[in-house]
């Protein structure tokens, strides 16, 4: 077995730029702020950074509604700021990944403004425009992830347009080759600036085939859950037969792969995908067939209510069945859309608050020991908890604003990073007001303070990452064998040509051990 490509076992640190570091005291994190903290990330020992969208955007969904893919939103800086960031990141041996949103753009993008103006303009079919049914209702029963119909009436065209998310996020029509070609240009633009890879947002929600304008069937396995997102009508339907995971998506994936492969230094494509019920792994397998995406961003460890030990082990077993000896999966225990690990996993694992830090480092070590790459969301290396006391008038997430106080949305995991507890706003910003409130309970876990504490989660993780880089079983192969355990333990072997490493994760004692055999 030879050395793997960088992305096959990379530890990728996700940065939510709005909340990472403010450099100009406007209360919003920015690109210069990220640049300022590259040394912190380099010393932690991660291999790459993934930056959530910073493109021009009206910020209806905080960057996942793009109005210009070729420029930077002024809140975050300028193209020159990005060029400086990527130069210094590479100098620090950190690769840089961007979050591209291919399935939809902002309703304020010039493409959509032109498209909705008439049925005969040059971009008339860049989006999904469909006639109403005879009774005037929407073309299908499709629902939005965020609630309500996935169709909105546009009086200028006297047609409905499709949006799998907010109405302000119209879906692009990938049945039109011009759309694919435009996104090819976007990829080349950023690759030419030295970007090392893309995380492709919600790529399974690309819509390309008008044949699939048919109703979704009912989900016979739907169970009303305890959380508002489990109560949405969206989950009462099955989507892979019509609305999502359409076969024609793979034309986009193949096109992007050809572009990535035309550049040196192993440019990486990681697609965020999902599927109905238990189909996520087969969906991932389809998206990573030869000539398509390199890997997929896996949801199996991101359960909102947390996972038991047995459920975590089951996710690992499913991954190994399909993806053993490959780097085609990327695992994460947290991101900008779900509650933080230190909050959601306590109850699921039966861990007391006083043992939260031990649980956190155990889960980080487990995640990083699984085959493939892994993504660590900012603040997880500090053991930050969710912030659940944000007043409604200070909330920003439209999902949370709509359902508060029953459901607090995603602001709870997006509050600004704190860097030094002695500085105003924990060192995030000197502004009088930050875009989301600073969490007082995070101050004792400030990042720079933690980096200087040898007993901190940051330093425990840093030591583990340095140790890992010396282990052939983890760095020269993606082989995982003999996965065993019970409701309190997970064990498996990582194996290369010249090393077999038995990895054991004990959730009773909250300890990880690694033995060469």
pLDDT tens-digit readout, 21-32: 999 999 999 999
The answer to whether residue 122 is domain-embedded is: no
The answer to whether residue 163 is domain-embedded is: no
**pLDDT exceeds 80 at position 227:** no
Confirm if 168 and 58 have CB atoms less than 8 A apart. yes
The answer to whether residue 167 is domain-embedded is: no
Q: Per the structure block, which two tokens stand in for 272?
A: 């965020």
Q: 272 an active-site residue?
A: yes
pLDDT at 166: 94
Determine the Cα–Cα distance for residues 62 and 28; give it in Å rounded to an integer: 12
The answer to whether residue 274 is domain-embedded is: yes
**Around Cβ 254, how many Cβ atoms within 10 Å?**
15
**pLDDT exceeds 50 at position 1:** no
pLDDT at 231: 61
**pLDDT exceeds 70 at position 165:** yes
Domain count, the chain: 2
**pLDDT exceeds 80 at position 217:** yes
HEC per residue, 96-157? EEEEECCCECCCCCHHHHHHCCCCCCCCCCCECEECCCCCCCCCCCCECCCCCECEEEECCC
The answer to whether residue 400 is domain-embedded is: yes
Q: 135 an active-site residue?
A: no
The model's pTM is 0.97
Average pLDDT over residues 441-465: 98
The answer to whether residue 2 is domain-embedded is: no
The answer to whether residue 92 is domain-embedded is: yes
Residues 459 and 441 both lie in one domain: yes
Residues 95 and 208 both lie in one domain: yes
Residues 301 and 355 both lie in one domain: yes
Residues 82 and 101 both lie in one domain: yes
- CATH of residue 188's domain is 3.20.20.80
The answer to whether residue 140 is domain-embedded is: no
**pLDDT exceeds 80 at position 299:** yes
Strands 373-377, 329-332: pairing is parallel
The residue length of the chain stands at 517
Closest Cα partner for 62 from 445, 483, 413?
A: 413
From 30, 154, 272, 381, active-site residue = 272
Dump pLDDT digits (tens) for 494-513.
999 999 999 999 999 999 99
Burial of 475 per CB tally in 10 Å (0-12, 13-18, 19+): middle
Residues 271 and 415 both lie in one domain: yes
Residues 376 and 504 both lie in one domain: no
Cα–Cα–Cα angle for 207, 290, 288, rounded to 5 degrees: 50
Determine the Cα–Cα distance for residues 227 and 158; give it in Å rounded to an integer: 37
Residues 97 and 189 both lie in one domain: yes
From 201, 240, 276, 300, active-site residue = 201
Residues 458 and 361 both lie in one domain: yes
Report residue 228's pLDDT band, with 50, 70 and 90 as the boundaries: low
Domain span at residue 510 reads 481-516
Dump pLDDT digits (tens) for 73-107.
999 999 999 999 999 999 999 999 999 999 999 99
Residues 258 and 354 both lie in one domain: yes
What proportion of the chain, given as a percentage, has pLDDT over 70? 98
Residues 347 and 465 both lie in one domain: yes
Residues 222 and 371 both lie in one domain: yes
Burial of 345 per CB tally in 10 Å (0-12, 13-18, 19+): buried
Determine the Cα–Cα distance for residues 342 and 31; give it in Å rounded to an integer: 27
In degrees and rounded to multiples of 5, residue 270 shows phi and psi of -120, 115
Residues 47 and 72 both lie in one domain: yes
Determine the Cα–Cα distance for residues 301 and 48; give it in Å rounded to an integer: 21
What proportion of the chain, given as a percentage, has pLDDT over 90? 90
Within 8 A by CB and 6+ apart from 192, the residues are none
């Amino acid at each position: 077995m030879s050395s793997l490509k960088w992305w096959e076992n990379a530890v990728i640190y996700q940065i939510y730029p709005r909340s990472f570091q403010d450099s100009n005291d406007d209360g919003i994190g920015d690109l210069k702020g990220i640049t300022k903290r590259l040394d912190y990330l380099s010393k932690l020992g991660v291999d790459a950074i993934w930056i959530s969208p910073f493109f021009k955007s009206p910020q209806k969904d905080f960057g996942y509604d793009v109005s210009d893919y070729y420029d930077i939103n002024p809140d975050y800086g300028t193209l020159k700021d990005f060029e400086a960031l990527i130069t210094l990141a590479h100098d620090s041996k950190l690769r840089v990944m961007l979050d591209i949103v291919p399935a939809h753009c902002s309703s304020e993008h010039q493409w959509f403004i032109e498209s909705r103006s008439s049925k005969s303009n040059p971009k008339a079919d860049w989006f999904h425009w469909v006639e109403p049914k005879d009774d005037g209702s929407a073309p299908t029963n499709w629902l939005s992830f965020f609630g309500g119909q996935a169709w909105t009436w546009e009086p200028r065209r006297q047609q409905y347009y499709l949006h799998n998310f907010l109405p302000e996020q119209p879906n692009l029509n990938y049945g039109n080759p011009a759309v694919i070609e435009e996104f090819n240009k976007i990829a080349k633009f950023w690759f030419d600036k030295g970007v090392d890879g893309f995380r492709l947002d919600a790529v399974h929600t690309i819509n390309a085939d008008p044949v699939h304008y048919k109703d979704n069937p009912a989900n016979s396995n739907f169970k009303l859950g305890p959380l508002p997102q489990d109560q949405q009508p969206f989950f009462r339907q099955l989507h892979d037969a019509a609305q999502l995971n359409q076969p024609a998506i793979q034309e986009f994936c193949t096109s992007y792969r050809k572009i990535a492969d035309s550049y040196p230094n192993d440019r990486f494509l990681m697609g965020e995908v999902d599927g109905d019920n238990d189909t996520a792994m087969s969906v991932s397998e389809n998206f990573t067939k030869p000539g398509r995406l390199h890997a997929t961003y896996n949801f199996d460890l991101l359960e909102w209510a947390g996972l038991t030990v047995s459920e975590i082990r089951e996710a690992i077993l499913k991954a190994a069945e399909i993806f053993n000896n490959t780097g085609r999966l990327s695992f994460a225990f947290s991101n900008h859309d779900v509650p933080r690990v230190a909050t959601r996993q306590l109850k699921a694992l039966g861990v007391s608050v006083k043992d939260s830090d031990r649980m956190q480092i155990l889960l980080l070590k487990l995640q990083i020991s699984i085959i493939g790459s892994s993504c660590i969301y900012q603040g997880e290396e500090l053991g930050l908890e969710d912030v659940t006391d944000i007043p409604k008038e200070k909330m920003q997430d439209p999902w949370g604003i709509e359902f508060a106080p029953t459901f607090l949305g995603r602001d709870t995991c997006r509050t600004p990073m704190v860097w030094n507890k002695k500085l105003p706003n924990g060192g995030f910003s000197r502004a009088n007001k930050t875009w989301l409130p600073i969490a007082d309970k995070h101050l004792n876990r400030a990042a720079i303070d933690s980096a200087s504490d040898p007993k901190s989660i940051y330093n425990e993780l840093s030591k583990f990452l340095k140790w890992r880089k010396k282990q052939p079983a983890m760095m020269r192969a993606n082989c995982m064998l003999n996965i065993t355990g019970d409701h309190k333990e997970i064990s498996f072997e990582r194996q290369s040509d010249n090393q077999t490493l038995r990895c054991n994760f004990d959730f009773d004692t909250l300890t990880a051990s690694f033995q060469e055999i």
